[in-house]
Structure 1
Amino acid sequence: MTSDAVHQKLARIRAGEKPRVLDLFAGCGGLSLGFKAAGFAIRAALELDPDAARSHGLNFHPDDARHSRSRDIIATHPEDLVAELDLGPVDDAFDVIVGGPPCQAFARVGRPKLREIDSHPQAFRHDPRARLYQEYLRYVAAFQPLVVLMENVPDVLNHGGQNIAEEICEVLEAKGYVCGYTLLNASYYGVPQMRERMFLIGYRREVAASVSFPSPSHWMTLPAGYDGSRAVALKVLNGLFGAAHDYIEPPASGPDLPSAITAEQAIGDLPPIYARKQLASGILKRGARRMDQPIPYDNRRKVSEYARQMRSWPGFEAPVEGLRDHVIRYLPRDYELFARLNPGDQYPEAHRHAMAMLAERISELREQGKRVREGSSEYERLKDSIVPPYDASKFPNKWRKMWRDQPARTLMAHLGKDSYSHIHYDSEQARTISVREAARLQSFPDGFVFSGTMNPAFRQIGNAVPPLLARALASEIFKTLKGAKAKEEHVGSRTPATV
């Protein structure tokens, strides 16, 4: 990109126009929502999954069906995208590119290979594992953004013996960007969830001389497991590859800040769903859930400041008729077991509770004059109706009952398969969380629409970047863009004239 092109984009932003964003691997739009809230214009997105692509389109371009189509980044050329969406010249279509290729794309691809992939567009044919990374770079080269933001799991800092984030920075720096990456925990930014992710920011050298990340707004003492995971991810920074030149220590949080948002503050105002009562009355049945059936808010329940924020997010206010997608899984065997679990209990504890429940049931039958021998077919049928079938020694983290007075643990994409990792803290409700509760824990406002049935909606939420964390990052980027001083001359010989 020429310096003139950089200056032209910066001048437009300083004149008051919103920076224009392209969201790659966009999912339903967690990053997009945060950037929109911080004053950016979400101009386009690419997403392969049809349900997630439709969600993104419905929320950010509801009047233009072209934005709801799923697109494969490999098959979609930048020129085709701007032509299809009438976005004008390719090199002037966007100011910011956000997103993150799936980390599998980087597996066992070393620094020389990454450089080869960047230099030779057909190199992916010899190493298809890197193809999505190459496609991301292709979009950066074509659209010449002022800013690049990438997000991924912490393991990319030590992925099969590689520091992928450092390698990405090397490639972007050769294209004329100043880069930095760090690990941020969502609970420090007002999200009721202890979600740790790697974020990488790259600015054109004409825009900024360094990278900074947003200061935390909240504080909590993270559980040992999160500190341990961070230590493993950062092991690479302690000599595995030598100096990690572009790593930036996360901005400090501390107990002088407000306490992290708890699960109860996040979802305690939502209408209760008493699963055992609904099961007994026949309201809760096997089969598809109506995601569009409104459920009125329960005005008797306390509304926290966080809940008010989720109800009144500008442009995504709570529907007047009531909540959508406040639906749960049909799990008749386990509701009574959920009620017995203590906060923090995981599958080993759940299995012990279930075996105790089985013993109680057998004792009741004996009092009624019925003998049930262990190992008999009747015993096995009874056990199957009470005790989950998983080996307690092999699935210790499969279940977890939430604490009401802490943020939730990380929501994962496998919410689309089961929700046992997030059992509601309220033993009276005795169930896994609903789709809308998962959205609240991820900081999606109540007016945000999820396309598809329950399972795809859970998966979209678990895959997303929390919008409040995205907003904090976007606000920091917006401040940098607004304060950027365009250089009068071209950058020195180390910066290419074009990308």
Structure 2
Amino acid sequence: MLKAQTRRTTTKRTARPRLPKIVSLFSGAGGLDHGFKAAGFELSAAFDVSEAAIETHKYNFPGAVATAGDLIDLGPAGVSAVVGAAIARGSRIGIIGGPPCQGFSRANTTATAADPRNKLPKLYIDIVRELQNDFVVDFVVFENVLGMRDRKHAAAYQNLLAGLTDLGFDITEKELCALDFGVPQTRRRIVLSAVRSGLEAKSVKPRRRKGLSTVRDAIG
């Protein structure tokens, strides 16, 4: 009798909470998006000015609503309308992406703070603010080149940090190199991980991984 009762006893497992759906700004073909998909997130909406990039994105992520268009022209309200058609309003979402880096890049020796592309981080913040009106934004991931922290771009960078803080996010600022995460490329970037205040994750600690370290290892 005891043995039969033991067989009928089951262990209750705690259900894993559903992850926020992803909205990708300046998505390109979806390189950053792919990482989130591999981690179990659902790509729901993506935006990029390049029609060719969006066609590739649609191929890579057939379940997402991918829109080719200039975010400046769409504006925060236009982005929110597209996202609202792809994701039920009130849902939890994460916003990822990195605006074009050419205006901040150290490789661009003629770069100035007045470059029109350097206004895109402010637009990024404005879009996050607009989406907060209809969705619960759990986190924001912003990526860009190291030159964004240079003195001539300091105002834009500090405004970005202040904007995320004002919107109620706790920010983890990291300088990361692709080589430390299994990609055979010495590519260093600033990555801001901004988590909604009140969530358990106060800081984000990227998990490094070993992988191929040279191009020869990858394709030789």
TM range (shorter): 0.7 to 0.9
- Look up the match of 2:171: 179
Report the CA distance shift for 1:187/1:15 in structure 2 as closer, same or farther (over 3 A).
closer
Report the CA distance shift for 1:208/1:166 in structure 2 as closer, same or farther (over 3 A).
farther
Amino acid corresponding to residue 193 of structure 1 in structure 2: Q
Using the alignment, how far apart are the partners of 2:173 and 2:120 within structure 1? 20
Using the alignment, how far apart are the partners of 2:24 and 2:196 within structure 1? 18
Matched ranges for 1:217-236 at <5 A: 217-218=209-210
RMSD of equivalent CA atoms? 2.7
User: Is residue 108 of structure 1 aligned with residue 113 of structure 2?
Assistant: yes
Matched ranges for 1:203-242 at <5 A: 203-208=195-200, 210-218=202-210
Which structure's relative contact order is higher, taking Cα pairs within 8 Å and 6+ residues apart?
1
- Look up the match of 1:95: 93
Report the CA distance shift for 1:167/1:260 in structure 2 as closer, same or farther (over 3 A).
farther
Using the alignment, how far apart are the partners of 2:126 and 2:219 within structure 1? 41
Measured against aligned partners, the alpha-carbon deviations of 1:244-268 in whole angstroms (never above 9, x if no partner) come to xxxxxxxxxxxxxxx7532222113
Deviates more, 1:93-102 or 1:42-51: 93-102
Q: Which has the larger radius of gyration?
A: 1
Of Structure 1 and Structure 2, the greater strand share is in 2
Amino acid corresponding to residue 33 of structure 1 in structure 2: H
User: Tell me, which stretches of 5 or more residues in structure 1 are unaligned?
Assistant: 1-13, 110-126, 219-258, 269-499
- Look up the match of 1:199: 191
Q: 1:94, 1:143 within 8 Å by CA — same for their partners in 2?
A: no
Per-residue deviation at 1:181?
A: 1.2
Using the alignment, how far apart are the partners of 1:209 and 1:32 within structure 2? 21
Per-residue deviation at 1:171?
A: 1.6
SS at match of 1:17: coil
Matched ranges for 1:253-272 at <5 A: 260-268=212-220
SS at match of 2:68: coil
- Look up the match of 1:36: 37
Report the CA distance shift for 1:93/1:26 in structure 2 as closer, same or farther (over 3 A).
farther
Measured against aligned partners, the alpha-carbon deviations of 1:214-264 in whole angstroms (never above 9, x if no partner) come to 13223xxxxxxxxxxxxxxxxxxxxxxxxxxxxxxxxxxxxxxxx753222
User: Is residue 170 of structure 1 aligned with residue 174 of structure 2?
Assistant: no
Using the alignment, how far apart are the partners of 1:93 and 1:130 within structure 2? 31
* Number of equivalent positions: 192
Per-residue deviation at 1:202?
A: 0.6
- Look up the match of 2:128: 140
Using the alignment, how far apart are the partners of 1:189 and 1:155 within structure 2? 21
Using the alignment, how far apart are the partners of 2:153 and 2:80 within structure 1? 36
SS at match of 2:163: helix
User: Tell me, which stretches of 5 or more residues in structure 2 are unaligned?
Assistant: 1-14, 105-110
Measured against aligned partners, the alpha-carbon deviations of 1:367-417 in whole angstroms (never above 9, x if no partner) come to xxxxxxxxxxxxxxxxxxxxxxxxxxxxxxxxxxxxxxxxxxxxxxxxxxx
